[in-house]
Structure 1
Amino acid sequence: MSEVPDWSEFRAAHPAAAPTDWLRACAEPDWSAAIGHRFARECNAGRVEPAAMRRYLVQDYQFIGAFCALLGRAIHTAPDLAARLPLGRFMGLLCSEENTFFVRAFDALGVPEDLRRDPPLSDAAQDFRALMVEAAESAVHADQLAVLCVAEWVYLSWALPARDTRPPEPFWCAEWVDLHASPYFESFVRGLRAALDREVTSLDPAGRARVRALFTRAATLERAFFDSAYDEGLPA
């Protein structure tokens, strides 16, 4: 974790900053390493090798169950209907368009059924899934938002610059960029940040420290998860 002061000190030094700006600063250098990762650069350029993409997608697909549970818990702990609706809409996207993308990509990349169902997981994938479960078990809405915000904001940050420049092929790169660079997704992440900003300002110091820890752990694991796409010890 970078040496960043707590929110009150950070706000005094950066009066225009939002709480999520503070959290992002706390997550350095892992944040910048994740959004500038080799996987992100190669995906934006349509150059991820099939073996690396198979490893990445096989591992990432194992998050869907835990991620749906995390989203569901965030919907439950949200303060009102207005806060629940965007999370519910995103749940629908995750369970339809995104899930369909995985199936089509697995078919095109020749991923066998056993690796789709129950592959050996990297340490990063195991730890990230455990973090999602931990946040989902919390009764505090900000805890779910902290992990969700990292998971989606990191992807928007690396994919958005390629929204108008990514090559059309291979589709498993092009459509992965499109899912995370669309105007809808950009708006959703903006809403996640705004919701987390509101929650952080209402927390006591212990609550803010907990959210900071969740956020920074999630950023560290995003970086490590991208690394695992190139781990030749994992099945591809």
Structure 2
Amino acid sequence: MDDGRVTDRLLAEHRDTWDAAVTHRFIRELFAGTLPDEVMASYLVQDYRFVDGFMALLGAAVATADNYPSRHRLAQFIGEVAGDEDTYFVEAMEELGAGDAGDIPDTSSTAGFRTLFAEAAGTGNYAAIVSVLVVCEWLYLDWATRESNRAAAPAGNGGYPLRHVHAEWVRLHDYPGFHDLVAFLRDEVDRAATRSPGDGAMAREYFRRTVELELAFFDETLPPAR
């Protein structure tokens, strides 16, 4: 690959899709507090469906990382997903009345994420794996911190929605440790993707697929206004 940050170039290649996801109608209504409960519940139900596959992907990242500091940070990340984020999912779905959602079918993008995580893990290629991870976390950091989204929040509330179930989802993707996590994942992609041309190609392919699925997931949850 050329000089410069790999992650900057990958983002530039998919800027239109990325920005469409980050500024999606779902996100704007989340910040504004106007997102219907049934839409938020559906989103969380579907998102929670692929947490299991995401944890397996993180396990594959730990297994394929080439140094102890990276393994250690990824292992911490597993604990974070299994901790506060899991608690949020369970409590938020209960508050929103999601109930027994076992009979609700997967959306096509949910199924797509499950397939993507399994395929990335199955490659045994660290560059492919961390390229999926960086999109999943960096894109969320972007929407959680983007000023145009924050401006949709009620005045006088520090750029956060008023209702806890909305505000906490934002906070989980905008705190110092999360910023540090995204910086770490970007560094890992930048490093792994430059080890060989094959690693660079894997990073590009899996980055693209993940960005496209992120936008599809929002579109299926709340179609863009016509």
- Whether TM-score is above 0.5 comes out as yes
Following TM superposition, by how much is the alpha carbon of 1:45 offset from its aligned partner in structure 2, in angstroms? 2.7
Residue 196 in 1 paired to residue 181 in 2? no
Count matched residues.
Answer: 214
How far does the alpha carbon of each residue in 1:197-220 deviate from its partner, in whole angstroms, 9 at most, with x for none? Answer: 01112122x331222111011000
Following TM superposition, by how much is the alpha carbon of 1:46 offset from its aligned partner in structure 2, in angstroms? 2.6
Following TM superposition, by how much is the alpha carbon of 1:92 offset from its aligned partner in structure 2, in angstroms? 0.6
| TM, length-normalised to structure 1 | 0.86
**Structure 2 CA distance, aligned partners of 1:98 and 1:190?**
19
Aligned to 1:222, the other structure's residue is in SS state helix
What aligned pairs does 1:145-224 form with structure 2 within 5 A after superposition?
A: 145-161=130-146, 162=150, 164-169=158-163, 171-204=164-197, 206-224=198-216
**Structure 1 CA distance, aligned partners of 2:112 and 2:161?**
33
Aligned to 1:174, the other structure's residue is in SS state helix
What aligned pairs does 1:1-236 form with structure 2 within 5 A after superposition?
A: 7-8=1-2, 11=3, 17-113=4-100, 115=101, 117=102, 119-161=104-146, 162=150, 164-169=158-163, 171-204=164-197, 206-230=198-222
How far does the alpha carbon of each residue in 1:172-192 deviate from its partner, in whole angstroms, 9 at most, with x for none? Answer: 210000000111101100110
**Structure 1 CA distance, aligned partners of 2:94 and 2:125?**
39
Following TM superposition, by how much is the alpha carbon of 1:150 offset from its aligned partner in structure 2, in angstroms? 0.5
Residues 79 and 159 of structure 1: CA distance in aligned 2, closer, same or farther (over 3 Å): same
Q: Structure 1 stretch 87-96 or stretch 117-126: which is displaced more?
A: 117-126
Following TM superposition, by how much is the alpha carbon of 1:167 offset from its aligned partner in structure 2, in angstroms? 2.6
What is the one-letter code of the residue matched to 1:165?
G
Following TM superposition, by how much is the alpha carbon of 1:81 offset from its aligned partner in structure 2, in angstroms? 1.1
Residues 199 and 164 of structure 1: CA distance in aligned 2, closer, same or farther (over 3 Å): farther
**Structure 1 CA distance, aligned partners of 2:71 and 2:206?**
21
Following TM superposition, by how much is the alpha carbon of 1:146 offset from its aligned partner in structure 2, in angstroms? 0.5
Aligned to 1:176, the other structure's residue is in SS state helix
Following TM superposition, by how much is the alpha carbon of 1:49 offset from its aligned partner in structure 2, in angstroms? 1.4
Stretches of structure 1 lacking an aligned partner (at least 5 in a row): 1-6, 12-16, 232-236
**Structure 2 CA distance, aligned partners of 1:57 and 1:143?**
26
Residues 118 and 83 of structure 1: CA distance in aligned 2, closer, same or farther (over 3 Å): farther
**Structure 1 CA distance, aligned partners of 2:108 and 2:212?**
12
Asked if 1 retains the 8 angstrom alpha-carbon contact of 2:192 and 2:199, the reply is: no
What is the one-letter code of the residue matched to 1:57?
L
What is the one-letter code of the residue matched to 1:167?
P
Residues 164 and 199 of structure 1: CA distance in aligned 2, closer, same or farther (over 3 Å): farther
Asked if 1 retains the 8 angstrom alpha-carbon contact of 2:58 and 2:74, the reply is: yes
| TM, length-normalised to structure 2 | 0.90
Asked if 1 retains the 8 angstrom alpha-carbon contact of 2:25 and 2:222, the reply is: no
**Structure 2 CA distance, aligned partners of 1:85 and 1:40?**
32
Stretches of structure 2 lacking an aligned partner (at least 5 in a row): 151-156
What is the one-letter code of the residue matched to 2:30?
C
